């Protein structure tokens, strides 16, 4: 689980990062709301944000307003932190959509508890598996526009790694890939966790017909080239 800590004080940033890393979180830092937004838009690798409120350039409240106005980013849970432990600040934070509020100096135990609580409310990600970069990026873009969190894998082996380390709502995989093909990936996923739904997609017929793919254990079938509206219609019921 990837946590972005937004804090302009280097000492506080280091302390919070150390606490969360000890509990298995992957941590990145930013020194302002502006830098945090730039990181999210460029890297897209953030599951939870822990942010100070009082910062130069862009404060935590302004960052929250920006995030919640963007359907692609509004899904990210935010825990706000401040030395101002007054009712107005708490109310504003919660009104803006913060999932938690911490008073500084931050208690390490409270920090972990708030992040774990935020983690429980995160919808699972959709893992897109395809060895073709263009198609993989196109599918990610289609789903991200709908506010759906996506993870990308260029191979079945990479997909299994992502599935092991993330909360997953759905896997969409091409069938024809080198090394491990989609059907082999399907078997691996279902053997490890049969509750994870898997859609297989292909532009080929014959042995890869819809009937055969569903009979092999897939939960859905997508024909390439796909229509964006059809992909969204099929995927949305699995995002909870």
pLDDT higher than threshold 70 for residue 17: yes
Average pLDDT over residues 180-191: 95
The CA distance from 30 to 34, in Å, is: 9
Give residue-wise pLDDT tens across range 86-142: 788 888 988 999 999 999 899 999 999 999 999 888 888 999 999 999 999 999 989
pLDDT higher than threshold 80 for residue 175: yes
* CATH code, residues 125-238: 3.40.50.2300
Reported confidence tier of residue 83, pLDDT bands at 50, 70, 90: confident
The more confidently predicted of residues 204 and 135 is 135
Give residue-wise pLDDT tens across range 229-240: 999 999 999 987
Reported confidence tier of residue 205, pLDDT bands at 50, 70, 90: low
Instruction: Cite the residue boundaries of each domain of the chain with CATH code 3.40.50.2300.
Output: 2-120, 125-238
The CA distance from 27 to 84, in Å, is: 25
- 2-120 under CATH 3.40.50.2300, yes or no: yes
Burial 190-216 (b: 16+ CB within 10 A, else e): beeeeebbbbbbbeeeeebeeeebeeb
Q: In whole angstroms, what separates CA 46 from the centre of its chain?
A: 6
The CA distance from 23 to 36, in Å, is: 22
The CA distance from 228 to 220, in Å, is: 16
Give residue-wise pLDDT tens across range 49-68: 999 999 988 999 999 999 99
Average pLDDT over residues 148-174: 93
pLDDT higher than threshold 60 for residue 168: yes
pLDDT higher than threshold 80 for residue 45: no
Average pLDDT over residues 194-211: 82
Nearest CA-CA partner of 26 in 166, 160, 169: 166
Nearest CA-CA partner of 148 in 46, 64, 200, 71: 71
The more confidently predicted of residues 213 and 173 is 173
């Amino acid at each position: 689980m990837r946590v972005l800590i937004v804090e302009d004080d280097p000492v506080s940033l280091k302390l919070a990062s150390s606490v969360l890393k000890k509990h298995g979180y992957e941590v990145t830092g930013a020194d302002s709301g502006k830098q945090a937004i730039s990181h999210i838009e460029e890297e897209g690798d953030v599951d939870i944000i822990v942010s100070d409120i009082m910062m130069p350039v862009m404060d935590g409240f302004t960052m929250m307003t920006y995030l919640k106005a963007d359907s692609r980013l509004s899904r990210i849970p935010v825990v706000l932190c401040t030395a101002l432990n007054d009712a107005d600040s708490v109310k504003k934070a919660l009104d803006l959509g913060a999932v938690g509020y911490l008073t500084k100096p931050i208690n390490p135990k409270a920090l972990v508890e708030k992040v774990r609580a935020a983690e429980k409310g995160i919808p699972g990600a959709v893992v897109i598996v395809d060895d073709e970069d263009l198609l993989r990026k196109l599918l990610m873009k289609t789903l991200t526009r709908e506010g759906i969190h996506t993870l990308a894998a260029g191979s079945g082996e990479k997909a299994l790694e992502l599935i092991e380390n993330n909360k997953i709502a759905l896997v969409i995989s091409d069938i024809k890939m080198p090394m491990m093909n989609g059907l082999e990936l399907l078997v691996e996923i279902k053997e490890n966790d049969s509750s994870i739904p898997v859609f297989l997609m292909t532009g080929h017929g014959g042995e890869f017909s819809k009937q055969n793919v569903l009979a092999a254990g897939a939960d859905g079938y997508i024909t390439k080239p796909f229509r964006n509206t059809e992909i969204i219609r099929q995927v949305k019921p699995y995002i909870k």
